Amino acid sequence: MMRFLAGAATLLLPVAAMAQDDVSPAQPRLKDQIVVTAGGLLRPADSDRVASRNLIADVTAGFGNRIENRLRDEAGIVQFRRSDGRSAHPTSQGITLRGLGGNASARALVMLDGVPQADPFGGWVAWSAYDAINLGGIVVARGGGSGADGPGALAGTIALYSEMTGGGKASLAYGSRNGWDASASVGGNISGGQVAVDGRYSRGDGFIPVAEGQRGSADRAAAYEQGGVGLRLRFDAGDDSRVEASLRGFSDRRDRGTDFTASKFDGVDASLRVVHDPVGGTQWLALGYVQLREFESGFASVGAGRNSVAPVLFQRVPATGLGARFELRPAIGGDNPLRVGADWRRTVGRTEEGFFFSGLAPTRNRIAGGSSDTVGAFAEWTAGDATDGFLWTVSGRVDRWWLGEGYRVERNIAGPVITDARFAARQGWEGSGRAGIGWTSGALSLRAAGYRGWRLPTLNELYRPFRVGADVTSANEMLNPERLWGGDIGADWDGGDGTKLSVTLFANRLTNAIANVTLAPNLNQRQNLDAIDSKGVEVSAEQRIGPITARATYSFTDATMAASGGAANLDDRRPAQIARHAGSFALRSNGDGPVGGFATLRYVGKQNEDDLGLLRLDDALTLDAGLSWRIADAIRVEARGENLFDELVAAAISSSGVVERATPRTLWIGARLDF
């Protein structure tokens, strides 16, 4: 079933798979089944059985639920900051797996219905953008080298799938610190197809990010306001074919808790795809998409004692992403063991900055940016028995990449140009691939895989310097692509009686790893390290006990940096933002009775905040829980809480020792409506 969801266009899930973070069962449908439609996909390849992957089927909007927080329940998934998209700076929202961290650019490939989701300029992920989509599930595939997914999947792929169903649903909740969270989704049949409209709006007065005891008169609560809307259309186009179109937009306003630190992040995405998916015949998919992003942010310097604040930098970052993809699965012997295809992605963007402030006005401007293109072709062959016996798969991919001429221009606003630098265009070839084998007998499955992947530096890493407090990090236009060699072995047990167990051992070596390297006090630069070596184990277990399902996950990650030359001080140190231990334990109700609930414990171990390991983030244990009561067939009331222990979760530490915290205790109450 897990393999089927990973790429299925239509699938069935037990009603029992109610969210750990969602205390409302799905609305009544066919007995014990929910029909979920995932847009823009062909039926899954059998090669999914040879990968280390798991399904997150319980993704429900509203009541403060955040996609990024739901992902934290799966041990081994690491986000650059422990704070979520209500309080973290938008440029810090990178995501990775298996200890391959160190900066805010995502080293895991995040996709929505087959479309890459990383910001075209920065490589970070705008989690608030998914408020505008009704998600049906998430599949997390660990390990790189998946040629069919495209370049950038160094640590793995996090694939989000949209849901298009008839009827509608809505929620409205009120929470701590004057928080409001409203969501709605409605869909139905139209002539020859379906239409769905989804939307969400959330706001709150926020909390003071600086830890108590370190605050001054300059600190205040950091408010947020976010929303989005999405439109999806699907039409039949002859036998076994369909055309799908989607359009969505989002708006994100945040504050960092002092004057001059407001941020604005807006985006519009559109995609068009044609899918031909006959049973037993030749299958193909054609996809085109565009991403428009505009990000603005202010940065401030807070005086000693935190009683004064002054602006130091204002940035505006417009960016555009374009892409296309074609995949063909010819019919061979009544099956589709071969996948071949090609894809293209282009990113264009720049940073426009004002700095060196005199009072409230900047005295100097900087514009820096460029473009990148990647064109690739892939092939994958799978053979064997996917249900009993041996199954093997091998895939390969070749990419041609280009970095267009970059530029960085600085000038005094009232004077001449100071710097007018042009950076020569570069190009190259990269290969990637994956080979795996699996064996299944009854409830037991064994698997092993080896892979190679790569990632092109983002325009942000190449051209955009940035500042956090007194710490300045400069860009590096000479960065080289990152390259990964790795492998894993694992075992899975599915007893069919609600008992599931999965264990995976992995080892990875990421060469040319891009990290922020300390050059002097308060001065850093992005550089290619020799390597990051990461090895460890991932464990998950699930047991159904009557009306309750218990699930536990744990990851142990031993990661070290190999560095020389100007970065020699980092050699044999642990990468920033990577904890050695992480885990979760969750209980959830799995029936459709009048009362439901969940409780989720999350643990994250100690982490280095900086590359030298001089600043440490303490470990943290948090509890989320909730209860729901169905008062009518279509109405359910809920109460839920985040971080019920009110644990101080350190999200960042400045060079002066000021601690930024993640979300404190937050309570919600509200109602859901299904019709």
| DSSP codes joined into one string, 359-371 | TTEEEEEEEEEEE
CA distance 614 to 655: 9
List 557's β-bridge partners, or say none: 536
Instruction: Evaluate if residue 67 carries a pLDDT over 70.
Output: yes
DSSP summary character for residue 571: T
> What confidence tens digit (pLDDT) does each residue in 520-532 have?
887 888 899 999 9
> Domain residues of the chain, as ranges?
2-674
Which among 360, 362, 461, 432 has a CA at the least distance from the CA of 94?
461
| Residue 92 confidence (pLDDT) | 87
Average pLDDT on 377-393 reads 88
| DSSP codes joined into one string, 323-356 | EEEEEEE--BTTB--EEEEEEEEEEEEEEEEEEE
Instruction: Evaluate if residue 609 carries a pLDDT over 50.
Output: yes
Mean pLDDT of the chain: 87
Q: State the distance between the two ends of the chain, measured CA to CA, in whole angstroms.
A: 27
> What confidence tens digit (pLDDT) does each residue in 212-262 have?
999 999 999 999 999 999 999 999 988 889 999 999 999 999 999 999 999
> What confidence tens digit (pLDDT) does each residue in 313-349 have?
999 999 999 999 999 999 998 788 999 999 999 999 9
> What confidence tens digit (pLDDT) does each residue in 436-458 have?
999 999 899 999 999 999 999 99
E strand intervals along 388-529 = 389-403, 406-412, 417-423, 426-441, 444-455, 466-468, 471-474, 482-494, 499-511, 514-520, 523-528
> What confidence tens digit (pLDDT) does each residue in 86-135 have?
999 988 888 888 988 767 778 889 999 889 998 999 888 888 888 767 88
- Phi, psi (degrees; rounded to nearest 5) at 92: -105, 15
Please return the burial class of 367, using the count of CB atoms within 10 Å of its CB with bins 0-12, 13-18 and 19+. Answer: middle
Which two three-digit tokens encode residue 443? 């409830």
Instruction: Evaluate if residue 29 carries a pLDDT over 50.
Output: no
| Residue 147 confidence (pLDDT) | 78
pLDDT classification of 38: cutoffs 50, 70, 90: very low
pLDDT classification of 550: cutoffs 50, 70, 90: very high
Share of residues in the chain with pLDDT > 90 (%) = 61
The region of weakest confidence among 105-109, 197-201, 303-307 is 105-109
- Helices then strands, each counted (H, E), the chain: 3, 41
| Residue 50 confidence (pLDDT) | 61
Question: Where is pLDDT greater, at 546 or 251?
Answer: 251
| Residue 612 confidence (pLDDT) | 86
Q: Classify 2-674 by CATH class.
A: mainly beta
| Residue 524 confidence (pLDDT) | 84
Instruction: Evaluate if residue 546 carries a pLDDT over 50.
Output: yes
Instruction: Evaluate if residue 60 carries a pLDDT over 80.
Output: no
Rg (CA), the chain: 24
Question: Are 121 and 293 in contact, with CB atoms under 8 Å apart?
Answer: yes
pLDDT classification of 46: cutoffs 50, 70, 90: low
| DSSP codes joined into one string, 141-174 | EESS--TTT-TT-SSEEEEEEE---SEEEEEEEE
Helix/strand/coil (H/E/C) assignment for every residue in 450-469: EEEEEECCCHHHHHCCEEEC
The region of weakest confidence among 45-49, 121-125, 167-171, 432-436 is 45-49
Instruction: Evaluate if residue 298 carries a pLDDT over 90.
Output: yes
Average pLDDT on 357-386 reads 93
| Residue 45 confidence (pLDDT) | 59
